[in-house]
């Protein structure tokens, strides 16, 4: 496994490995890797000749009052997991390497970023768009792998790829969960024992919504009320949003609109704080054809 800390090292090693038209699979991450990341790494390894992992906590996607400084980091652990999964190249740049001067360019996506996490984290997706564009230009992957726990991010990145004609296939990957249903997240480490026990209410509410959505006469607003009621029973939970939207357009669904038989795919998305730890989760639903497990 090759570890590259500069753009030049990355380009040099990639150019050497990708001779004779070899395909490149890419997994961009912010590190503190867990089994959810591991599943992406294995998919990239299995489907491509060369697998590349980037580990970079991108300051451009954090707001002034967010957890950039305390975001968990463990380089040795991350590199061990990458090696275990057979990754060929790990890109580990510094802030100075990624942003040698203050960037004056923005990659903004309208329409998809004014709701969900975009509404409560202004500028977040501009930072995501910029760093992903930079990484795509450096790695030039054939395929890039993203977990659907950040479903809005996947929709935004797919839009960037389509609009800017990046020659890369975006591969959305299913959410990996703990045995009790909690979605794996690098931020789970922040939860104390009581918060961790209560956080399973997120996946529980999504599971129930998967069943309720097929009820005749159930409106979007009624479904949202039920989900909010369940989450609110967790004493440590503070709801940031519970929303039902069309996916991947992320356009709103009218609250009195009936769900049973709706043809389009929809997303039930949650953001909830347990103490100071913000967790997100979601489920993609097809009311006319069953649950889409991602």
Strand partners of residue 105: none
* Residues linked to residue 284 through DSSP beta bridges, in sequence order: 267, 292
Give the Cα separation of 118 and 126 in Å (integer). Answer: 9
Q: Give the span between the Cα atoms of 181 and 171, in whole angstroms.
A: 23
Residue 276 to residues 44, 188, 237, Cα–Cα distance (Å): 34, 11, 10
Q: Give the bridge partners for 283, in sequence order.
A: 268
Nearest to 120 by CA among 181, 68, 50, 65: 65
DSSP state of 134: H
Q: Which of 16, 37, 124, 246 is catalytic?
A: 37
Residues 294, 285: Cα–Cα separation, whole Å: 10
User: How far from the centroid of its chain's Cα atoms is residue 159's Cα?
Assistant: 15
Give the span between the Cα atoms of 219 and 236, in whole angstroms.
28
Is residue 34 part of the annotated active site? The answer reads no
Calpha distance 246→145 (Å, rounded): 22
| Helix (H), strand (E), coil (C) string for 18-43 | CHHHCCEEEEEECCCCCHHHHHHHHH
Q: Is 94 exposed, middle or buried (0-12, 13-18, 19+ CB in 10 A)?
A: exposed
The set of catalytic residues is 37
């Amino acid at each position: 496994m090759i570890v590259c800390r500069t753009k030049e090292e990355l380009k040099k090693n990639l150019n050497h490995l990708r001779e004779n038209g070899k395909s490149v699979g890419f997994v961009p991450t912010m590190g503190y890797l867990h089994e959810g990341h591991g599943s992406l790494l294995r998919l990239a390894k299995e489907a491509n000749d060369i697998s590349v992992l980037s580990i970079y906590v991108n300051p451009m996607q954090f707001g002034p009052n967010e957890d950039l400084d305390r975001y968990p980091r463990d380089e040795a652990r991350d590199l061990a997991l990458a090696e275990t999964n057979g990754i060929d190249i790990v890109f580990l740049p510094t802030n100075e390497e990624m942003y040698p001067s203050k960037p004056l360019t923005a990659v903004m996506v309208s329409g998809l970023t004014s709701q969900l996490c975009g509404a409560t984290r202004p500028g977040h997706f501009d930072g995501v768009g910029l760093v992903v564009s930079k990484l795509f230009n450096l790695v030039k992957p054939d395929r890039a792998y993203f977990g659907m726990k950040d479903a809005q991010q996947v929709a935004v990145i797919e839009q960037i790829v389509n609009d800017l004609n990046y020659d890369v296939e975006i591969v959305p990957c299913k959410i990996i969960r703990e045995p009790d249903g909690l979605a794996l997240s690098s931020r789970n480490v922040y939860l104390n024992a009581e918060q961790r026990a209560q956080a399973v209410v997120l996946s529980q509410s999504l599971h129930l919504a998967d069943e309720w959505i097929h009820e005749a006469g159930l409106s979007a607003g009624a479904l949202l009320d039920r989900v909010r009621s369940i989450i609110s029973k967790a004493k440590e939970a503070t709801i940031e949003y519970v929303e039902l939207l069309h996916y991947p357009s992320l356009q709103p669904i009218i609250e009195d609109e009936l769900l049973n038989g709706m043809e389009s795919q929809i997303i039930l998305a949650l953001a909830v704080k347990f103490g100071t730890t913000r967790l997100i989760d979601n489920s993609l639903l097809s009311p006319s054809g069953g649950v889409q497990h991602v």
